[in-house]
Amino acid sequence: MAAKGLAHEIFQNFLKVRRELGRMPSRNEYLSHPDSKYERKEIEEAFNSWTEFTMAVSRSVVDEVIEPEPLNVLFLDIETSPLLSYVWGMWDQNVGLNQIKEDWSILSWAAKWMGSKEIIYQDNRNSKNVEDDKSLLKGMWELLDKADITIGHNIKMFDTKKLNARFILNGFQPPSSYRQIDTLEIAKKHFKFTSNKLEYIASQLCPESKKSKHENFPGFEMWSEVLKGNKAAWDAMEKYNKQDISTLEAVYNKLIPWGGSINFSTYNNTLDTPCKCGGRYAANGFSHSNTSRFQRYRCNICGSEMRGRDNLLTKSKKKALRHYTR
């Protein structure tokens, strides 16, 4: 069989295995598959190397019709009411449970799906009892039940746990499982900013999207006026909460090339490999360990990196490296 004909037969056999698996098989998966007809040596001789073979396959099947599965990524931020407690002074207060007059609840939330322009918002201004947040929880529960990934600033320690506490207290079942990206966690892990507050980070990295200061109701005044039913204060909270989402998304886009361990491409069975910012990867040199060499890729938008999984060193090189230790 001519080399060109052999390459075509190998190519078709590989695609057959791929269709059976419903995804691109790894090298070991293909070579060990019952329907695989060719040895690695035959493939590398026909295509010069395994890397060139997989690149040829990727170029040829990139337009193959595989229905994309939606990836639902949700930016969210909640606002809660404060505890109302009896205290004897302003400083060093250790409040006991029997000193709490009114417990906290959810006052409002804002959210936005990645890729959408709409900011979804709900608050409790029209409730007869502002502490009754069940309708707010239902709206947020439905979003979380749909989400694959949620994003927030301090979301792991605050928003998610606060919501879960209110869910269980109000008789909700847990929403469907989702993963989380916390921009505060990324900021603390990779940087030493003067402050890790969302407002400060935004003012330094994306001042055009910095948080609102709700000047008409500075500091705690907005919360106290909201609890009194002040319509203007509720309007200010809506603006404040929505602005937090715009700021969060802008900060996320700045920080995500530096951190965030979730691989978005595993949520889709297409051959496309999107970055966490929505960009696409292109080959960009190589990444090395003491015993391996991998293809490195860089996002064309945010600069985030990832690497391939196949060790590109030849068999003889890998064998030679096994003779040396450090």
- The predicted pLDDT at position 270 comes to 61
φ, ψ for residue 231 (rounded to 5)? -60, -40
Asked if 123 contacts 235 with a C-beta cutoff of 8 angstroms, the reply is no
- List pLDDT tens digits, range 2-42: 455 677 788 788 888 887 777 778 888 888 888 888 888 88
Separation between Cα atoms, residue 140 and residue 64, nearest integer Å: 37
- The predicted pLDDT at position 324 comes to 66
Please list the ranges in the chain whose pLDDT falls under 50: 1-2, 63, 65
- List pLDDT tens digits, range 210-235: 766 667 888 889 999 999 999 999 99
Separation between Cα atoms, residue 111 and residue 119, nearest integer Å: 6
Three-class secondary structure of residue 159 per DSSP:
helix
Separation between Cα atoms, residue 209 and residue 100, nearest integer Å: 37
Q: Which CATH class is domain 73-82+98-258?
A: alpha beta
Q: What residue ranges do the domains of the chain occupy?
A: 1-64, 73-82+98-258, 279-326
- The predicted pLDDT at position 23 comes to 74
Q: Would the pTM count as exceeding 0.75? A: no
φ, ψ for residue 256 (rounded to 5)? -60, -30
Separation between Cα atoms, residue 107 and residue 318, nearest integer Å: 60
Asked if 77 contacts 251 with a C-beta cutoff of 8 angstroms, the reply is no
How many other C-beta atoms lie within 10 A of the C-beta of residue 154?
17
Asked if 223 contacts 97 with a C-beta cutoff of 8 angstroms, the reply is no
